[in-house]
Amino acid sequence: MTVPRVSITSVLLLATVFAQSFADGDAVSARARVDSTHYLIGDWITVNVDITHPSGALLRGVVGDTLAGFSVISRDSLVKVSDTQTATKLIVAKYDSGTAVLPPIPFLYRLAGDTTSRLAATNPLILTVSTVKVDTAREIKDIKPPLSIPLTLAQIALALGIILAVLGLAYIVYRYWKKRRQVATGQAYVPPPRPAHLIALEELAVLREKKLWQQGLTKQYYSEVTEIVRRYFENRYGIMALEQTTDEIMAALKRHRHAETIWAETESTLRRADLVKFAKYQPGIPEHEEMLGVAYDIVEKTKLVEASPSPESEQKVSAHAAS
């Protein structure tokens, strides 16, 4: 059997306490008890303390954060059970294995009518602290599997909101960068010096004279028709139609209420051209002729015409200048 080693400090403390107790006629006595004498490393050890004392005695605990190699986890307050009985509780832990002595737990007390503080202490406790037994023949694994925490609807909504906000911010930054790049390279929109409809009508007339589809150049013909229409939209409405998709152009046009008369035919024309350019669609001769006619119709329906001054307004301007 292994004999527990008690520190010199504990021995001196015991001697002092017993000497004082003998001098006081065993006026105050304290007893410590635990539920078991065998624990694992790191286990919380609950130490119950019962103190017997004369009526009117004042008691105070003096235990610090450690107690001879034991870590003090918590200290309860002193609770008066009766006039001559007081109880308290400590929770300690030991992080070394082997036989260990929990030394006497000290208390200061002062008897009624006395101004001198004296020391009392509990009995020591011999405890055995063991390590967890390891079966080396078995696979090493976690004590418990990882816990999965289910997501709530609020957390999912928050995550989706953050993702949408990041995507929206990225799109805004991209559009800003694109416009800055267009300005830096001279590609930004600049209003034409001549009315947009005159430029478009001239370009359509030139395209008619090329007779592209008659020469079998169907894809080039549809590309040039839609390019003229897109450029017209840029010059007329200030939208970057040459760089936008059909859906983006239609969304931009629908912000201009006065252009609602051409929404349907514009979408039909652009989508037919997309089929020819990207899906190898082969339209017939009537569709070739209709394509150019619709382009003329789009320009004519939306052209911006400055109103000529009426004779009456010219007379008023002349009279005002003369005066």
Say whether both 73 and 26 belong to one domain. yes
Output the pTM of the full model: 0.39
Same domain, 119 and 168: no
- Final residue before a domain boundary, out of 82, 100, 130: 130
Residues 170 and 119 grouped into a single domain: no
Residue with tokens 């590309």: 223
Mean pLDDT of 290-317: 71
Q: Is residue 275 part of a domain?
A: yes
CATH classification at residue 16:
2.60.40.10
What integer is the mean pLDDT of 276-285?
87
Q: Which of 14-28, 86-100, 125-139, 256-270 has the lowest mean pLDDT?
A: 14-28
pLDDT score, position 45:
93
Instruction: For residues 77 and 114, state if they share a domain.
Output: yes
Measured in whole angstroms, how far is the alpha carbon of residue 141 from the centre of its chain?
32
The per-residue pLDDT for 312 is: 55
pLDDT (tens digit per residue) in 193-207: 788 889 989 999 999
Range of the domain at 268: 196-302
Can you say whether the dihedral through the CA atoms of 237, 241, 246, 249 is positive or negative? negative
The residue among 12, 64, 73 whose CA lies nearest residue 46 is: 73
Mean pLDDT score across all residues of the chain = 81
Is the per-residue pLDDT at 47 higher than 90? yes
Look at residue 311 and tell me if it is in a domain: no
15 and 112 assigned to the same domain: yes
Residues 104, 160, single domain; the answer is no
pLDDT tens for each residue of 223-243: 999 999 999 888 888 888 888
- 205 falls within a domain: yes
Contact 239, 196 (CB under 8 A): no
* Count of domains for the chain: 3
Examine residue 169 and state whether it is found in any structural domain, yes or no.
yes
Are residues 214 and 171 part of one domain?
no
* Residues 49 and 156: beta-carbon distance below 8 Å: no
Higher pLDDT, 222 or 184: 222
User: Are 114 and 208 contained in the same domain?
Assistant: no
Q: Are residues 26 and 126 in the same domain?
A: yes
Please check the confidence at residue 140 and state whether its pLDDT lies above 60: yes
Q: Are residues 174 and 230 in the same domain?
A: no
Q: Do 82 and 183 belong to one domain?
A: no
Residue 252 inside a domain? The answer is: yes
121 and 174 assigned to the same domain: no
The answer for residues whose C-beta is within 8 angstroms of residue 97's C-beta and 6 or more apart is 41, 129, 130, 131
